[in-house]
A = this chain, B = another copy of it.
Amino acid sequence: MDAISKFVSDNESLFHSELCEMLRFKSISADPTCFDECVKMADWLVAHFLNMGIRAETFDVPGKHPVVFAQTPRILDAPTLLIYGHYDVQPVDTGTSEGEKTNGTADAEVSEKSWRTDPFEPVFKDGLLYARGASDDKGPVFAHIAAAKYWMQAESRPQINVKFFLEGDEEGGNEEVRQFVRDHTDLLSCDYLVLSDTAQFAPGQPSLSCGLRGLAAYELTIHGPNRDLHSGTFGGAVTNPCNALVNLLSALVDEDGRVLVPGFYDEVARLSPEEARQLQILPFDESSFYANLGVASGVGEKDFSVYERLRTRPTFDIHGISAGYQGEGSKTVIPSEASAKFSFRLVPHQSPEKITESLRARLASLLPPGVRMTLDVHSEAKGVAIDTSLPCMKAAARAVEYGFGRSPLFVREGGAVPIVTTFKEALTPNIMLLALSLQTDNIHGPNEHFTMADFYRGIKTAAKLWQELAALDLL
C-alpha cells in the first residue's frame, strides 16, 4: 500500500468524525433563521484549515453568508489548483405533510417521503452516513479537505499551490458570490479548478463531467382581488388567481414536456456524432430507473431517450405551488393571490436572460383581465460544456483510477452548478467536475446520505489529483 492509501486508511475514523462535526451545523442558506449557523460553519472551516497549517479566513459577501478562503504555503513556479465547494445545505422539509404521508405505515415507498432521523445528527448505517448535506456537498467537500491533511501532515507540504474557496449560498441563489468571484480574480487566480458537486454515473462507476445543465428559476405570483372571497357570492365573475396561475403554467409546456416559450430551443444544438455515440454506449437501464422511483414511466420529449432527456435536453419543472386554503376539509374561497416556484433546466448555449425575457412576455400576453402578475427571477445560469481532451482532465482521470480502481466515464450532468459558468469566464477553462456522490443519495430530499466507501476513495482521489496536476506542469 502506498503512502496516500495508507494515510487515508489509518485516518478513516478521524475523517468520519470530523465530517460528522461538519454535518451538525444547520447551515440552510435559504432559511434566514439559520444565518448564525452558516457563520459558525464558516468559522469552523477556517479553524480546521488553520489547525492543518493552512492560512484561512472568511470574507463577507453583502447580503449573503461569508465565503471561506484558504491557501497552502506558496511555492514559486508551481501551478495553482482552486478547490471549490459549498458548505450550505437544502432545507429539510419535503413539501408534504409528514403526518398525512407516513400514516402509521412503514413501507419503503412511504417512509422515503419523510426523514427517519434528525437531519442534523448524522447516523451511520450499512455503510451510509445519513444527514442533510452528507452528499450535497459537505461529504465531497470534506474529501478534498482531508486530502489537504495528507499533504500537510504526511508530506509536510504539497508540490502545488492549492486554494480552497467554499461558499454558503449555492443552494439558494448565489449571484452575489459569483460577483465576488468576478471581483476577486487575483485572490482566486488559478490554473486548474476542481469541484465535487455532481454524481457518479452509477455505483462503482465514477465519472468526470463534460457538461452541466444551466438553470433559470422563477417565482410567479398572481395578484387578484384585494381579499379572499366566497366563491358562491363572487364565483363566475371574478378572475380567480389560482385558476389564472394553473392556466399560465400549463401554457408553458405541451403534453410531452416540450417548452412553449418562444425561442426556447433556438440555441439548443443537436449532439455531435461522437457525443451521441458515447451516450449510446453508456449502460443506462430505463426500466430500473423508473422502478427505483416507484413509477412505470414518465413524460418527456418523444424523440429522445430517457438518458438524453435527463442530461442533454432542457426541461420545465414546477417545484411548489402555494395558494388558497390548504387545511383540513373544504373551504370554498377565491384566494386573493396564488404563487408558484418553477424552473427551466438549460443546456449549453441557451441564454437564461433571453429566456427570462421571452417567458415574461409570454406570461404577460396570456395574463387574463382582473389579475396582475409578479415574476421574480431566483436564478439565471448558463449551461457549461467542458473539453474532455484537456490535459487536466486526463490527470483527473488518472487520479480517479487511483482512488476508485476504475477509469471514469465522461458524462454530461443533469443538474446545474451556476458558479461553474462564472469560473469558466473569470478564472480558467481547466475545470474538473469530479463526482463522488451517487444519484441515489436523495440529495434535496429526505434521508440524504453519502456512501462512506466513496468518501475514502474520494479522499485518495483528491490527494492523488494534487500530485498528478503538479506533475503536469513539469512535463
Which A residues fall within an 8 A CB radius of B?
29-32, 90-91, 93-96, 108-110, 112-113, 171-173, 199, 213, 215, 217, 219, 224-240, 242-247, 249-251, 253, 255, 257, 289-290, 293-301, 306-307, 309-310, 313-338, 340-343, 345, 368-371, 378-379, 413-416, 439, 442-446
Say yes or no: A414-B232 contact (C-beta < 8 A), given A319-B335, A326-B95, A378-B330.
yes
Copies in the complex: 2
What is the CA–CA distance of A227 and B293 in the complex, to the nearest angstrom? 7
Whether A236 contacts B341 by the Cβ 8 Å rule is no
Q: How far is the CA of A246 from the CA of B234 in the complex (A)?
A: 23
New contact pairs (20) apart from A244-B299, A247-B253, CB-CB < 8 Å? A31-B329, A91-B325, A93-B327, A94-B336, A95-B323, A96-B335, A109-B227, A217-B330, A226-B294, A226-B295, A227-B442, A228-B446, A237-B306, A237-B309, A240-B317, A242-B317, A290-B370, A297-B369, A321-B338, A330-B343
Are B298 and A324 neighbours in the complex by a CB distance under 8 Å?
A: no
Question: When the two chains form their complex, are residues A343 and B231 in contact, meaning their CB atoms are under 8 A apart?
Answer: yes
* Nearest-CB residue, chain B, relative to A247: B250
Q: How far does the alpha carbon of A306 sit from the alpha carbon of B379 in the complex, in Å?
A: 41
| Cβ–Cβ < 8 Å partners of A336 in chain B | 94-96, 113
Chain B contacts of A319 at CB under 8 A? 231, 242, 324-325, 330-335
- Quick one: which of B93, B94, B224, B313 contacts A236, CB cutoff 8 A? B313
Q: List B contacts of A249 (CB < 8 A).
A: 243, 246, 250
* Cβ–Cβ contact A226 & B309, under 8 A: no
The closest CB in chain B to the CB of A371 belongs to: B295
Complex Cα distance, B237 from A314, in Å, reads 11
Q: Are the C-beta atoms of A317 and B235 separated by less than 8 Å?
A: yes
A226 touches B112 (CB 8 A): yes
Chain B residues within 8 Å of A172, by CB: 329-330
A330 to B376 alpha-carbon distance, docked (Å): 11
Tell me the minimal C-beta distance from A106 to chain B in angstroms. 14
Q: A317-B242, A332-B343 are in contact. Are A368 and B324 (CB under 8 A)?
A: no
Within the complex, what minimum Cβ distance (angstroms) separates A434 from chain B?
Answer: 17
A325 contacts across to B, CB distance below 8 A: 91, 93, 95, 319-320, 341
Bound form: Cα–Cα A205–B389 in Å:
83
**Contacting pair A30 B238 (CB below 8 A):** no
Q: Is the CB of B370 within 8 A of A298?
A: yes
Min Cβ gap A375→B in Å is 13
- With known contacts A317-B231, A323-B318, A299–B96 Cβ distance under 8 A: no
Asked whether B253 lies within 8 Å of A243 as measured between CB atoms, the reply is: yes
Given A173-B329, A246-B250, A330-B319: A228 in contact with B94 (beta carbons within 8 A):
yes
The answer to whether A233 and B337 touch across the interface, beta carbons within 8 angstroms, is: no
A to B CB contacts below 8 Å, 22 in the list: A30-B328, A31-B327, A95-B323, A95-B326, A108-B226, A113-B228, A173-B329, A231-B345, A232-B345, A234-B293, A236-B345, A236-B414, A242-B321, A243-B316, A246-B249, A295-B371, A319-B324, A319-B331, A319-B333, A320-B324, A320-B325, A332-B343
Inter-chain CA distance A425–B20, complex, in Å, is 68
**Closest Cβ–Cβ distance, residue A79 to chain B (whole Å):** 31
How far is A297 from B225 in the complex, measured between Cα atoms in Å?
10
Which residues of B sit under 8 angstroms from A326, Cβ to Cβ? Answer: 95, 320-322
Q: Given the interface contacts A91-B325, A329-B30, A369-B297, does A416 sit within 8 Å of B318 by beta carbon?
A: no
Q: Knowing A95-B325, A320-B335, say if A232 contacts B295 (CB, 8 Å).
A: no
Complex-state Cα separation, A271 to B328, whole angstroms? 37
Q: Which residue of B lies closest to A232 (CB)?
A: B415
